Amino acid sequence: MTSLPSHLFWDTDPNKIDPEKHAPWLARRVLEYGDWSDWRTLVHFYGKDHLAEIVTSIRSMHPRALAFCKVWFDLPEQSFRCSTNPPSL
C-alpha cells in the first residue's frame, strides 16, 4: 500500500507489507499513528464493510482508536475483540 506515508513504517520495510495478510496490523497502525487521509486511504482500499471486519478482529488497540471505531462503524464495544479479550499481564 504505497499511498500511505513512510512515517507509519518506521520499524518495517513497507515493500514487504501484504495488505491482505497484514490487514489488522496495518489498520491498527493507521488508527494509532495515522491521520484522517491515511484512514480514508484504508476505507477506499478495503471498503467500509471489510474494514469493519478487520478492525473488530484486532487483539488490542488504543482506547481512543477503539472509541473512534465504535462511532465510525456504529458498533457496540462488545463487537471488538480487543474489548472482549483483554491482554493478559
For residue range 32-81, what is the model confidence (pLDDT) as tens digits?
999 999 999 999 999 999 999 999 999 999 999 999 999 999 999 999 99
Residue 86 grid coordinates: 483483554
Judged on CB neighbours under 10 Å (0-12, 13-18, 19+), 81 is middle
Query: What's residue 3's pLDDT?
Result: 81
